[in-house]
Amino acid sequence: MIELRNVCKTFTLKGRRQVVADNINAVFPDRKAVAILGRNGAGKSSLLKMLAGTLPPDSGEVLSTGHISWPVGFAGSFHPDLSGLQNTRFIARVYGVDTDELADFVADFAEIGQHFKLPIRTYSSGMRSRLAFGVSMGIKFDTYLVDEVTAVGDASFRKKSEELFAERMGDSSAVMVTHTMGQVRRLCDYVGVLHLGKLTFFDDVEEGIMFHEEIMKQPGPQK
């Protein structure tokens, strides 16, 4: 479980103030998948980083139980000069899992062939995402943080990713940022819509999608 208590976060870029979290209170329950929806730039990825503990809030608390993954899809997860295999083995040691088992799982799942033994800096963004998703899903976490990764690849790979994600949700939780409403309907139990620093929770997925789509019809915030 992850709980946000009075969480506030603001960025200032080129003199412009952006509120990512405006006194957010929310509970992400155990063994449920929550979709985070919102406009581009609303702060969804920043919210994931606060849930992961890699980005501190300006004020308030982020409380959690169990092991939480890093935000899958975050490029900073890997060292660019190490190969995919070396990065995988390093992460396995950090999280205390068998290095050979994780390496074999990721090599099979990510489907990047010989690139697995080449430096990450040579990868396309899609290959990085495949690797990140494979490494994360290959480690047992109580809560998985996922940022659009299941949308990567061809239809066959997307299907395989969704099936693996659904399998992990049998005894884990997830917070997933996505722009694909079909994925929300297939994979998620709840919807949270982040808009102007407020996170509105819906236990009815369709109601949450409708709320998000109404927001998307409105004019965007002024730059």
Give the CATH number, domain containing residue 198. 3.40.50.300
Domain boundary among 140, 171, 192: 140
pLDDT band at 152; cut points 50, 70, 90: low
Helices (H) and strands (E) in the chain, counts: 7, 9
Tell which wins on pLDDT, 162 or 55.
55
**Bridge pairing between strands 33-37 and 173-177:** parallel
| Residue showing tokens 């969480």 | 7
Residue of higher predicted confidence among 149 and 104: 104
Distance from the Cα of residue 52 to its chain's centroid? 9
If asked whether residues 217 and 154 sit together in one domain, one would say yes
Does residue 33 register a pLDDT over 90? yes
Number of domains forming the structure of the chain: 2
The answer to whether 38 and 15 have CB atoms below 8 angstroms apart is no
- For residue 49, give both structure tokens: 């980083």
| Distance between CA atoms of residues 125 and 88, nearest Å | 17
Give me the pLDDT at residue 216, please: 93
Token representation of residue 5: 């208590």
CA distance 151 to 126: 10
Taking residue 83's Cβ as centre, other Cβ atoms within 10 Å add up to 18
112-139 pLDDT tens trace = 999 999 999 999 888 888 898 889 889 9
Q: What percentage of the chain has pLDDT greater than the value 70? A: 94
pLDDT of residue 76: 60
In 3D space, the residue among 65, 28, 31, 66 whose CA is nearest the CA of residue 48 turns out to be 28
CB 51 within 8 A of CB 175: yes
Question: How far is it, in rounded angstroms, from Cα 73 to Cα 90?
Answer: 17
Q: Which parts of the chain fold into alpha helices (H)?
A: 44-52, 84-95, 99-110, 125-137, 155-168, 181-187, 205-217
Radius of gyration of the chain from Cα atoms?
18
Spatial neighbors of 152 by CB under 8 A, at least 6 apart, are: 126, 129, 130, 133, 158, 161
Tell me if 73 is assigned to some domain: no
> What is the rounded average pLDDT of the residues 15-37?
94
- pLDDT value, residue 149: 61
Tell whether 72 is covered by a domain: no
Do 110 and 150 lie in a common domain?
Answer: no
Range of the domain at 103: 78-140
Domain match, 132 and 42 both: no
User: Could you read off the pLDDT of 51-87 as tens digits, one per residue?
Assistant: 999 999 999 999 999 999 888 765 567 899 999 999 9
Closest by CA to 23, choosing from 173, 197, 184, is: 197
Q: Which residue among 119, 140, 161 closes a domain?
A: 140
**Claim to verify: residue 148 and residue 205 sit in the same structural domain:** yes
Residue 222 has pLDDT above 60, yes or no: no
Query: What is residue 153's predicted lDDT score, i.e. its pLDDT?
Result: 67
